[in-house]
Amino acid sequence: MSELTFIDAEAGKFPETLPLFIGGEWVKSTATETLEVTDPATQKVLTKAPFATEAEVNAAVASARETFQSWKDVPVPTRARIMLKYQDLLKEHQDELATIISQELGKTFEDAKGDVWRGIEVVEQAANISSNLMGETVANVANKIDTYSYTHPVGVCVGITPFNFPAMIPLWMFPLAIACGNTFILKPSEQDPITPMRLIQLFEEAGAPKGVVQLLHGGRHQVDQLLTHPDTAAISFVGSVPVAKHIYSTGTGAMKRVQAMAGAKNHMVVMPDAQKQQVINNLLGAAAGAAGQRCMAISVAVLVGEAREWKQDIVEAFKKVRPGHWRDSESAYGPQISPASKQRILSAIAKGKEQGAECLLDGSDCTVAGYPDGNWVGPTVFGKVTPDMDVYKDEIFGPVLCLVEVDTLADAIKLVNDCPFGNGTSIFTSSGGAARTYQHEIEVGMVGINIPIPVPLPFFSFTGWRNSFFGDHHAYGKQAVRFYTKTQTVTARWFEDDVAATGPNMSIHL
């Protein structure tokens, strides 16, 4: 490995400036604009991410387009075998990848390992792509005529990913797209781009041919160029709602396929017949885990009827949760990704107080011994929250839980359905009837019954609704295979030698 690509995760040694991966080569960017990638627990600069130039973006697209011409014809089992090898390598390097994630994002080591593991599961699905690529067949649709369909790759696909899962979310995208026969350009978050770089290095080691995947760094300008480039075919995006809307409207405006997974405000409905300690334990992990930086985090608990009386017990449990450094196994979660993100969360907490929410636990003034410069926010709980307050309406993306009280399950359903987001939700109850009613009536794409974060495994799809998703086909699973392929339908007739030709048929009637 050259200086350009040398990574020693354990020693915290990374290239001074990250290279780009274009045409199967790691290249030094000629960009003048860079962003420092920092350890959010210490502010130590780990590396710099260059903002790829227009020429570099064009070179990546040109290479991806050229490679597509041969990659699309590589036999499906050959493509899938690369994924088998990749899955093996990712498992072997799981701890190393988690060590990088912990440094650049601050996640606890166990949680960072989960970030990698959830991605490995998608690679396992990519290794089994053949059965998902099967078309449909009907013999004898008319006299001696058969119809059958094929799934063909769409071309150059682009992935734009957020900071909060630097391994899992890129792995939602490029292994499946590439296994389907496409080539792929990854533009990961500029805030934690080292993990994606290591993912691509391992993919190269797994035997991915040159040009099948490209890695670019950057922000809005690089994304916009990819969205409107005449040679890109499909865009997968994961990130915040405003950016998702921009991606969807610009990408579809440029006549591309777009799937845009967006932000969230997820509710857990707590029925009085639920098991109280289960509720509290599950709420803690779902609201404060990963410092609240998960799109499936629970940020609102809806206490129904007598479950209101559990408020103080919830607060007492949250008081015991402390953030800390990833090397400390007692840390429940890590710092926020950036000082700006911490500041945004502190402003949201201040606004909550101003607007009359009852701050039952305030994590604004949080310190962690030995790490005075970390972006720490302590667990925060608001009571007496109403839907008109900003603390309820906005995605805070921090360890902040809002408690809303309602009288009945019907009130809870109305509240959740009135919220514009529709990513995930859960109900805790011991009543099958209540659970069934909730699941059936709720306008949310992923529902947990006594499960706080109902993220589907990769043989299903990640299916947010309403403002949490823009597009038609969702992430991973069969829906992603649909997204990354186009259907060709063949209608075929073979003439037998001894059958005389009939005259021309001038109508479409049989």
Positions marked catalytic: 295
Contact status: 240 vs ligand NAD (CB under 6 A): yes
- Distances, alpha carbon 147 to alpha carbons 136, 140, 150, in Å: 8, 8, 11
- Taking the complex as a whole, the smallest distance from the CB of residue 99 to ligand NAD amounts, in Å, to 21
Binding to ligand NAD in span 70-99, by CB under 6 A: none
Query: DSSP assignment of 407-443, as one string?
Result: SSHHHHHHHHHHSSEESEEEEE-S-HHHHHHHHHH--
- Taking the complex as a whole, the smallest distance from the CB of residue 222 to ligand NAD amounts, in Å, to 8
Convert residues 290-309 into a mask of x (bound to ligand NAD by CB under 6 A) and - (unbound). -----x--------------
- Taking the complex as a whole, the smallest distance from the CB of residue 200 to ligand NAD amounts, in Å, to 15
Binding to ligand NAD in span 157-196, by CB under 6 A: 160-165, 187, 189-190
The residue within the footprint of ligand NAD, chosen from 429, 468, 479, 485 (CB under 6 A), is: 468
Which of 363, 355, 366 lies closest to 390, judged by CA? 355
- Which of these segments, 25-33, 106-114, 238-246, 480-488, binds ligand NAD (CB under 6 A)? 238-246
The residue within the footprint of ligand NAD, chosen from 195, 423, 426, 467 (CB under 6 A), is: 423
- Taking the complex as a whole, the smallest distance from the CB of residue 344 to ligand NAD amounts, in Å, to 10
Contact status: 114 vs ligand NAD (CB under 6 A): no
User: What is the 3-state secondary structure of 102-127?
Assistant: HHHHCCCHHHHHHHHHHHHHHHHHHH
- Taking the complex as a whole, the smallest distance from the CB of residue 150 to ligand NAD amounts, in Å, to 30
Long-range contacts from 288-291, C-beta under 8 angstroms, 24+ separation: 288/318, 288/321, 288/332, 288/333, 288/379, 288/399, 288/401, 289/111, 289/332, 289/333, 290/107, 290/111, 290/164, 290/333, 290/334, 291/106, 291/323, 291/333, 291/334, 291/335, 291/336, 291/377, 291/398, 291/399
The residue within the footprint of ligand NAD, chosen from 119, 263, 292, 379 (CB under 6 A), is: 263
Give the residues across from 318 on adjacent strands. none
Nearer to ligand NAD, 79 or 198 (CB): 198
- Taking the complex as a whole, the smallest distance from the CB of residue 172 to ligand NAD amounts, in Å, to 8
Burial class of 179 by CB neighbour count within 10 A (0 to 12, 13 to 18, 19+):
buried
Contact status: 220 vs ligand NAD (CB under 6 A): yes
Please name the residue that has the structure tokens 């845009």.
260
Contact status: 23 vs ligand NAD (CB under 6 A): no
Residues that bind ligand NAD (CB under 6 A): 160-165, 187, 189-190, 219-220, 223, 238-240, 243, 246, 261-264, 295, 395, 397, 423, 462, 464, 468
